[in-house]
Amino acid sequence: NAGVMQNPRHLVRRRGQEARLRCSPVKGHSHVYWYRQLPEEGLKFMVYLQKENIIDESGMPKERFSAEFPKEGPSILRIQQVVRGDSAAYFCASSHAQLSNTDTQYFGPGTRLTVL
């Protein structure tokens, strides 16, 4: 029973480079969420996706950040032209369809992005 898988676990980029973070949800889960955890901060919602659809991107920075969840393959969080302030832990979570009274999100181990 594989849980949420994320890779890479650690990613180092220089300012101006691109970062690609991957997330494979729990088998059978069709909904994916991305959260960011800055040092000394709680997790902040970024984006919620279903297969081939962005449902809620209200937490995504307006520039440089994008996310996708294609029909086949993992969800990707892409950060273009990274800056030092992007250094954080990025967590992916997944769930079944629209959350019910008894359903919630299960988190992956995270990708720790360091921007030099």
Partner 1 sequence: QKEVEQDPGPLSVPEGAIVSLNCTYSNSAFQYFMWYRQYSRKGPELLMYTYSSGNKEDGRFTAQVDKSSKYISLFIRDSQPSDSATYLCAMRGRGNNRLAFGKGNQVVVIP
* Residues of this chain that bind partner 1 (CB under 8 A): 4, 6, 31, 33, 35, 40-45, 48, 55-56, 58-59, 91, 93, 95, 98-99, 101, 104-110, 112
Strand pairing category for 10-13 and 111-115: parallel
Nearer to partner 1 by Cβ, of 53 and 81: the residue is 53
Tokens of 85: 């302030």
The least distance separating partner 1 from the CB of residue 16, rounded to whole angstroms, comes to 27
The least distance separating partner 1 from the CB of residue 12, rounded to whole angstroms, comes to 15
Nearer to partner 1 by Cβ, of 94 and 115: the residue is 94
Alpha helix ranges (H) inside 62-107:
none
What is the residue type of 80? Q
User: In residues, how long is the chain?
Assistant: 116
Distance between CA atoms of residues 52 and 37, nearest Å: 25
Nearer to partner 1 by Cβ, of 64 and 96: the residue is 96
The least distance separating partner 1 from the CB of residue 86, rounded to whole angstroms, comes to 18
Distance between CA atoms of residues 106 and 80, nearest Å: 27
